[in-house]
Amino acid sequence: MKKSTVTEIRERFDNEVERFSNLETGQVATMDAKMVLELITCTARAVKPQAKTILDVGCGAGNYTLKMLSKVSDLDCTLIDLSQNMLDKAQERVSAATSGKVQTIQGDIREIELPQNHFDIILAGAVLHHLRTDAEWELVFKKLFDSLTPGGCLLISDLLIQDHPEVNKLVWKMYANYLQQHGGAEYQQKVFDYIEKEDTPRSMTFQLELMKKVGFSSTEILHKNACFGAFGGIK
């Protein structure tokens, strides 16, 4: 199947701002969304308790940054997203929660220039699975690594595949069952159809190895449930 273009992905998210604005539940289609939001931001605080700057890649309506601000106050926040509608919502919500600077950048992380050694915390929630080729993955991981301050952390929560095909079938069957319990068979098929069209997830193993390759001094696995995981690297 031909994958969605960047424009098609942007247009979809332009129309889904409210669905991505719920801090209490997170994304229902994402397993353990609320718990992972808490876990990732607690981890960022543990790694960088004196953090001053945060970059939220694919920020959506700003949930990850808002949760981070509940742990470390008054951060200078840089928010990146394809969708201007999402950025407008995120800027409104985040600006009300910090006395720090709030900068928004509309665009594709593959093309945006980032400052070097600048961000104490980088969060990437449910966004990197839109990367396509190995070269794109390495480009983005290197860009994010270079943009971190020494001792800074990149923390990711995302959709994943498994490296072994039979294990991959198993975890995606688990996810199908989860979706059916929440919305029935039709809902499960709808989610699987847009994943097939829009997403190209990679395994956690692939991403952790890539982190080491681009220079991260250590990596951490925080959580894994079926085809969703939370993990990261420290510069």
- The pLDDT assigned to 2 comes to 75
pLDDT digits (tens, 9 = 90+) for 218-231: 999 999 999 999 99
pLDDT digits (tens, 9 = 90+) for 52-65: 999 999 999 999 99
Provide the mean pLDDT of the chain.
Answer: 92
pTM of the complete model: 0.93
Architecture of 6-234 per CATH? Answer: 3-Layer(aba) Sandwich (3.40)
Domain boundaries, the chain: 6-234
Judge whether 158 and 228 are in contact, CB under 8 Å: yes
Neighbours of 124 (CB within 10 A): 24
User: Tokens representing 77?
Assistant: 């926040």
Q: How far is CA 107 from CA 87, 146, 198, 203, in A?
A: 10, 19, 17, 25
SS3 72: coil
CA quadruple 90, 144, 163, 131: dihedral, nearest 10: 60
- The pLDDT assigned to 93 comes to 96
- The pLDDT assigned to 7 comes to 72
Residue by residue, what is the 3-state secondary structure of 171-203? Answer: HHHHHHHHHHHHHHHHHHHHHHHHHHHHCCCCE
Positions in the chain short of pLDDT 70? 1, 3-4, 8-27
Pairing of strands 148-159, 228-234: antiparallel
